[in-house]
């Protein structure tokens, strides 16, 4: 089974499985195609976080997170969210593909070549594709902004030329990767071209920063939720926040509430608040080992017990806290041998920095804007440091075997959406398609609403929205199936060997099964 936010990417993964490839190999093909056909959410100039697992008990996390430039300086004011001054971190997505394939060869008998796996992406970049409704939405959403982004309109403003969107410079960069290997993005002629282009834009990144970029392989964080083991990536990601939410919810009997009701939504929202209050301490553990301790402390039984006791079922906790905004893509693959990959790729905000590296076709991320300029803050900008990261794909293990693969787009909305999905799947026994159709909430600011309100999807019944207001939530209604609520995906592996998968009805996502 393959799920992804774009049919062309899903088909690329399905083709790899049909040809005998494993889940990681299929995931690399999916990720490469997404880097072409979803440039508004991910690309070669971004990062990736992986969780992989199998029936033999292996579970690993690949943190493909770029580090801040060695020559970066901390600005006096806030870091800009667009332009060269936001291009402060290297891009590790491509290295994560290569790292994953090395793991595949060593552990899963992987034999597919990197060049073959990215060939569908090269063809789509060169020959073109029809932009998705998701891409149209975010292009129009930024219509007042993107004309000021250097070189952007020449490539991505496809509204002025209806039909296929071709990216010949990106195709050439991908071809160089196919010819010279994935590390050519970081060392060699392609790397030098990227470094030269970054310098031309005004970014502090250089060739040495690219060469220093490496994926970290680590153990995932774990939490038992009603007999199901949930896995999440460790710091500097917010995986601990997702697990903390679920740990708090495990202290409640959700059978006393129904999905989509005010009582259920209130409980999920209040659990999110309690977890987010602790999340600010999460940052790069390479620069402060206490960050690993902080993540572990969030998941201690006593901490979760105390957080659950602070939840009042009759009253909302005030919430004036700032939130993060970002966009990403989630995709997952399960192969016939039960080997699984759950992955998120991102360039941070929609369209990243808005800047394409000259001569390469690579749209660079603005992940540097996630750093703090406040001295003493855990996420304070330091050369070589990785920023706090919202990406947290998930895996659930039951009886020692992969059970669920899940993840979603949406920065701070990711743990919130995952709380809806996981309670629907585990507590309510829903199918992936049913869980993905459940109404969602989003606490805090969004691109279109700067109030710290509780955004509720329009599929929630009016009386439930009124009940949430009566509990003290500042409710703001948004349309049903709005892209603001993210695009999630789920794969469910049953005990009988059957597999179900679905991707979000809020986007252009698709799922494809494969049977021997």
Please tell me the least confidently modeled range out of 217-231, 274-288, 356-370.
Answer: 274-288
Residues, the chain, total? 516
* 212 pLDDT more than 50: yes
Find the mean pLDDT for residues 303-326. 82
Band (514; pLDDT cuts 50, 70, 90): low
- pTM (2 d.p.): 0.94
Q: What's the CATH class of domain 218-325+392-508?
A: alpha beta
Which backbone phi and psi does 491 adopt, to 5 degrees?
-120, 130
pLDDT in tens, 153-206: 889 876 545 688 999 999 999 999 999 999 999 999 999 999 999 999 999 999
209, 67 in Cβ contact below 8 A?
A: yes
Please tell me the least confidently modeled range out of 20-24, 266-270, 286-290.
Answer: 286-290
Burial of 126 (0-12, 13-18, 19+ CB in 10 A): middle
Helix (H, G, I), strand (E, B) or coil at 503: strand
**pLDDT on residue 162:** 61
pLDDT in tens, 456-466: 988 899 999 99
Structure tokens that stand for 338 in this block? 């039960």
**pLDDT on residue 159:** 59
pLDDT in tens, 91-148: 999 999 999 999 999 999 999 999 999 999 999 999 999 999 889 888 998 999 999 9
Rounded to whole angstroms, the Cα distance separating 138 from 447 reads 11
Burial 274-288 (b: 16+ CB within 10 A, else e): bbbbbbebbbbbebb
Band (448; pLDDT cuts 50, 70, 90): very low
Structure tokens that stand for 203 in this block? 């970014």
Structure tokens that stand for 489 in this block? 């995906």
What is the overall mean pLDDT for the chain? 91
Band (445; pLDDT cuts 50, 70, 90): low
pLDDT in tens, 502-511: 998 887 777 7
* 447 pLDDT more than 50: no
490, 405 in Cβ contact below 8 A?
A: yes
Which backbone phi and psi does 389 adopt, to 5 degrees?
-125, 130
Q: Catalytic residues, which ones?
A: 328
Label residue 444 left, alpha or beta by phi (over 0 means left) and psi (-120 to 50 means alpha).
left
427, 257 in Cβ contact below 8 A?
A: no
Find the mean pLDDT for residues 267-274. 94
């Amino acid at each position: 089974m393959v799920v992804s936010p774009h049919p062309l990417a899903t088909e690329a993964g399905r083709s790899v499985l049909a040809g005998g490839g494993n889940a990681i190999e299929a995931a690399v093909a999916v990720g490469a195609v997404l880097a072409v056909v979803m440039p508004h959410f991910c690309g070669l100039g971004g990062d990736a976080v992986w969780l992989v697992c199998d029936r033999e008990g292996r579970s690993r996390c690949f943190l493909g997170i770029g580090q801040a430039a060695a020559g970066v300086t901390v600005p006096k004011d806030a870091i800009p969210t667009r332009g060269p001054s936001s291009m402060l971190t290297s891009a590790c997505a491509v290295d994560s593909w290569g790292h994953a394939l090395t793991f595949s060869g060593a552990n899963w008998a992987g034999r597919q070549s990197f060049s073959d796996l990215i060939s569908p992406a090269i063809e789509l970049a060169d020959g073109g594709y029809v932009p998705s409704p998701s891409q149209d939405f975010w292009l129009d959403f930024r219509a007042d902004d993107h004309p000021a982004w250097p070189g952007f309109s020449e490539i991505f403003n496809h509204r002025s030329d209806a039909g296929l969107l071709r990216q010949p410079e990106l195709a050439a960069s991908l071809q160089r990767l196919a010819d010279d290997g994935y590390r050519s993005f970081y060392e060699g002629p392609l790397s030098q071209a990227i470094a030269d282009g970054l310098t031309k834009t005004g970014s502090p990144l250089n060739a040495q920063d690219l060469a220093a970029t490496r994926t970290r392989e680590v153990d995932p964080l774990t939490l038992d939720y009603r007999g199901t083991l949930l896995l999440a990536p460790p710091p500097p990601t917010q995986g601990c926040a997702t697990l903390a939410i679920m740990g708090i919810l495990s202290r409640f009997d959700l059978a006393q509430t129904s999905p989509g009701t005010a009582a259920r939504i209130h409980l999920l929202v209040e659990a999110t608040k309690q977890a987010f209050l602790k999340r600010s301490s999460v940052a790069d553990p390479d620069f402060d080992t206490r960050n690993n301790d902080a993540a572990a402390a969030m998941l201690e039984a006593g901490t979760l017990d105390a957080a659950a006791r602070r939840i009042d079922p009759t009253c909302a906790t005030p919430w004036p806290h700032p939130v993060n905004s970002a966009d990403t893509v989630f995709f997952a693959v399960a192969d016939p041998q039960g080997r699984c990959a759950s992955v998120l790729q991102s360039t941070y905000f929609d369209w990243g920095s808005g800047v394409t590296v000259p001569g390469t076709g690579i749209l660079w991320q603005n992940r540097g804007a996630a750093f703090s300029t406040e001295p003493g803050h855990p996420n304070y900008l330091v050369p070589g440091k990785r920023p706090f990261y919202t990406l947290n794909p998930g895996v659930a293990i039951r009886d020692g075997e992969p059970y669920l693969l899940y993840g979603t787009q949406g920065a701070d909305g990711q743990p919130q959406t995952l709380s809806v999905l996981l309670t629907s799947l585990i507590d309510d026994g829903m199918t992936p398609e049913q869980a993905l159709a459940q109404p969602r909430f989003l606490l805090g600011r969004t691109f279109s609403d700067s109030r710290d309100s509780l955004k509720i999807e329009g599929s929630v019944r009016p009386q439930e929205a009124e009940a949430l207001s009566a509990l003290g939530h500042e409710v703001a209604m948004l349309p049903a199936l709005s892209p603001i609520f993210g695009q999630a995906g789920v794969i469910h592996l049953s005990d009988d060997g059957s597999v179900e998968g679905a991707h979000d009805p809020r986007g252009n996502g698709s799922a494809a099964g494969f049977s021997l």
